[in-house]
Amino acid sequence: MIPLLMVGALLCGADEKKETAPKVEGRWRIVYAEEGGRRNNAWEQKIATVKDDKLSYESEGKTRTLKLTFGPHQTVKAEGEGTFRGVYIHGQDYLCISLNNAKDEDKGRGESSASFILILRKQREKEKTR
């Protein structure tokens, strides 16, 4: 009986892990961007796309891609040009991501800005044609 209960508990844990990932696939408009503690106006109003677990957007003539791994308690890991860890907030129309370089996790505690911040607004069908 105990092994059966343990298997059930493990299966429930697997379902919880699947539920932690928000449904973010689609097109998003970058409404605010910050890198290294400084606002980056050049990225604002550009379109970012999330497909599978990858966030892609254009920056300085090249496509940047981050592989996103959403975890429990609104944590996120991003891998691209380095490894980043941070938090996210996902609502119906917005996705906010705040990341710090994984190798600098213990540095800079108490600073107001992360290494990388994106605030994205979900694109609706009528907005795609603009």
User: Rounded CA gap, 97 and 52, in Å?
Assistant: 17
CA distance 111 to 79: 22
Spatial CB neighbours of 19, under 8 Å, sequence gap ≥ 6? none
pLDDT at 76: 95
Q: Are 30 and 48 in contact (CB under 8 A)?
A: yes
- C-alpha to C-alpha distance for 25 and 53, rounded to whole angstroms: 8
The SS3 of residue 91 is coil
- Write down the pLDDT at residue 30: 95
| Residue pLDDT, tens place only, 3-54 | 433 444 445 554 444 567 889 999 999 999 998 889 989 888 999 999 999 9
Domain assignments of the chain as residue spans, ordered by start: 23-124
Enter the pTM of the model: 0.74
103 CB contacts (<8 Å, ≥6 apart)? 82, 83
User: What is the DSSP secondary-structure string of 35-54?
Assistant: ETTEE-GGGTT-EEEEETTE
Distance, CA of 31 to CA of 125 (rounded, Å): 18
Handedness of CA 77, 79, 81, 83 (dihedral sign): positive
Please state, for a pLDDT cut of 90, what percent of the chain lies above it.
Answer: 48
Domain 23-124 CATH (choose: 2.40.128.20, 2.40.110.20, 3.30.420.40, 3.40.50.720): 2.40.128.20
